[in-house]
Structures are given as structure tokens and as C-alpha cells.
Structure 1
């Protein structure tokens, strides 16, 4: 049984690569999808497709519409969502994606460091599983196949 896993969270570190490597080591039949991880492309996509916008507000608005469409399509096709809340970057998109997964009834594995226990208590309560590392998240996925 192959599963599709949507990897929600910041796009500045290599945490997705770690999850994919760990899953490959365990020979798990998983396909991974995610938000656009090319930051420049994500910011530019609105103007790339719709043309130059009059100012930064409309530039961001055009890009966010296309990025949100991409996220919606890929998350709807996912069987499981892993949402990583890191310590270094603002996590608004992660919170939005985790909440979307919850509201759409997608199984959610939340990866969250100890220092974020309090600010994420409500999302944590709604997630199926809360882990403190990507390694633990992959172990949860592996357990599905045992």
C-alpha cells in the first residue's frame, strides 16, 4: 500500500530531505509532496504567470493565490500530513497547513520542539500524533506498515 505524505512547514532547512532519507532507509512505500520549496519561484509565480503586478501587495496576492491552489490540490491528494514547527522561522504557513489538514480530516503528525509546547497546545491536541523529531515522525509512518 503506497501512501502520499504532504510535508508542511518551513522551506529554509533540509528537514524534508531527512524524512525522505529515513523513509527510504526503511523502504517505506511513500510518495512525498510539499509546498513549493523554491522560495524565489514561490514569490515570483504570480508575476511569472499573470504578468507584472502594480505593487508588492498585488505581487504577493497573485503568488499566494497560485501557491494556495497548489497546496490545496496536493494536500487533498495526501493520505497523511506531517507539519513541522521549527524554532528558527516564523511558522504561519505551517499553522495554516496543519489547521487545514485537521479541518479536512487528514491524519496529522505534528513535529514540534519542546519550547513550542505551550504556543501550539491547541493544534497539538487536534493532531493525531505529536512528535519532537522527524525521526519519530518516520517511525510513526513505519508503524502503519507493521
Structure 2
């Protein structure tokens, strides 16, 4: 059995590579999908496809529609969502994606630092599992495949 895992979270740090590398080292049968990780391309995809927009707001809206379509398609096909709340970047998209996973009935592993407990308490209660580290999330994934 192979699972598709949607990796939701900021695209500025290499946390996704850490998840992928650790899963590969354990030979977990996982395929990973997620948002466009090229930040510049993500921001400019609306202009790239639809052409120049008259204002920065309209440029953002055009890109957002296309990025939201991508997220919706890939998340619906995913068997599981991992939402990572890192310590450096604003996490609005992560919260939105985690909420979308819950709404879609997708199993959700939430990774967040202990100091974010209060800010994310309601979201944590809706997630299937909340952990504090990528290593803990990998252990949860590994357990799914254990037979004894």
C-alpha cells in the first residue's frame, strides 16, 4: 500500500526535504505532493498564465486562484496531510490548508512547536495527531505501516 501525503506549510525553509529524506531512509511507501515550492513562480503564476494585471492586488488574486486550484486538486487526491508550523514565517496558508484538510475529512498530522500550543489549540484538537517535531511525525507515519 502506498499513501499520498500532502505537505502543507511555508515554502521558505527545507522542512519538506527533511520529511522526504527521513521517510525514504525508512523505506516508507509514500508519495509527497504540496504547494508550488518556487515562491517567485507561485507569486507570478497568474501573470504567467493570464497576462499582466493592472494592480498588485489583482496580480495576487490571479495567482491565488490558480494556487488554490492546485491545492484543492492535490489535497483531494492525498490520503493524509501533514501541516508544518515553523518558527520563522507567518503561517496563514498553513492554517488554511490544515482547515481544508479537516473539512475534506483528510487525516491530519499537525507539527507545531510547544510554544504555539495556545495559538493553535483549536486546530490541534481537530487534527488526528499533533506533534512537536518532524521526527515525531515520521514515527507516526512509520507506525501506520507496522504489522506487529
Q: Per-residue displacement from partner, 1:49-90 (whole Å, max 9, x unpaired)?
A: 000000101000000000000000000000000000011100
Match of 1:91 in 2: 91
Paired residue secondary structure (1:46): helix
Match of 1:67 in 2: 67
Q: Does 1:137 align with 2:122?
A: no
CA distance in 2 between counterparts of 1:139 and 1:31 reads: 17
Q: Give the alignment of 1:1-146 within 5 angstroms.
A: 1-146=1-146
Give the alignment's TM-score, normalised by structure 2: 0.98
Q: Residue 16 of structure 1: CA displacement?
A: 0.3
Aligned-pair Cα RMSD in Å: 0.4
Q: Per-residue displacement from partner, 1:89-112 (whole Å, max 9, x unpaired)?
A: 000000000000001100000000
CA distance in 2 between counterparts of 1:45 and 1:121 reads: 34
How many positions carry a matched residue from both structures?
146
**Which consecutive residues of structure 2, in runs of 5 or more, have no partner in the other structure?**
none
Q: After TM superposition, which residue ranges in structure 1, 4 or more long, deviate above 4 angstroms?
A: none
**Which consecutive residues of structure 1, in runs of 5 or more, have no partner in the other structure?**
none
CA distance in 2 between counterparts of 1:117 and 1:86 reads: 13
CA distance in 1 between counterparts of 2:96 and 2:86 reads: 15
Q: Residue 123 of structure 1: CA displacement?
A: 0.1
Give the alignment's TM-score, normalised by structure 1: 0.99
